[in-house]
Amino acid sequence: MNTTRSGRPALTRPDGTPLRVLVVDDDPDLAEVLTGALRYEGWQVRAAGDGAAALAAARELLPDAVVLDVMLPDTDGFAVLRRLHEVRPEVCVLFLTARDAVEDRIAGITAGGDDYVTKPFSLEEVVARLRGLLRRAGMARRPEEGPRLAVGDLVMDEDAREVTRAGELVELSPTEFELLRFLMRNPRRVLSKAQILDRVWSYDFGGRAHVVELYISYLRKKVDAGREPMIHTVRGAGYVLKPVTR
């Protein structure tokens, strides 16, 4: 099975050519980081810093997906999206927003956006969201099935972003999914709060332990509710995911 340098199954267009992604953000540093992460997936990526440049690039690139900032110097992302759909009606759009009010989310979906992430975000989350959008839209060729993450009766399909325990679907938020994925990639290994913050949130430790504690409690309510617990606290050390022993 072909994989990217990140170790994930490689995704391509149905004809086998690289997926095309346009990144639109007026922060040049953020745009550079995003384009680098997406090129790491083996995709063809271009960046634009405003709405006019985005539309010009879209006409040349004909992107399969667009990572689109809501706030741009010459217009807003919603207006850009409407014009993008004239160029490429089937394009998948992932909004980047510093705002998480319900009305902003509704505006993005109403405008035709497929998903959104709120700043600050992890690069892994952006890549995972795009992979999911492209596959669900049929824009990407499904790679040969590789092994799913499995710890005991807990199973995670990373591409479909689905988790089951004992065959029952476990509904997770994006952050809960990333936290569980980190735990499942390191079964039986005690992970410190600092390691989890760095991997899931890309934060320095700096006293944010309560964030990890909060999301671990969320996971326990969903993964361990009514079942033998798999997520354990190791006092003074961190957390560990272990299969249930019978």
Residue 135, H or E segment:
helix 123-136
> How far is the C-alpha of 108 from the C-alpha of 204, rounded, in Å?
31
> How far is the C-alpha of 220 from the C-alpha of 1, rounded, in Å?
34
Both 102 and 152 in one domain: the answer is no
* CATH number, domain with residue 100: 3.40.50.2300
Task: Domain of residue 188: give its range.
Answer: 148-241
* CATH number, domain with residue 164: 1.10.10.10
In a domain, 3, yes or no: no
Tell me which of 148 and 38 has the higher pLDDT.
Answer: 38
Both 119 and 188 in one domain: the answer is no
Both 24 and 129 in one domain: the answer is yes
Domain tally for the chain?
2
Q: Write out pLDDT tens, residues 37-84.
A: 999 989 999 999 999 999 999 999 999 999 999 889 999 888 999 898
pTM beyond 0.75: the answer is no
> How far is the C-alpha of 22 from the C-alpha of 92, rounded, in Å?
10
Tell me which of 142 and 180 has the higher pLDDT.
Answer: 180
pLDDT for 145: 42
Q: Is the pLDDT confidence value at 183 over 90?
A: yes
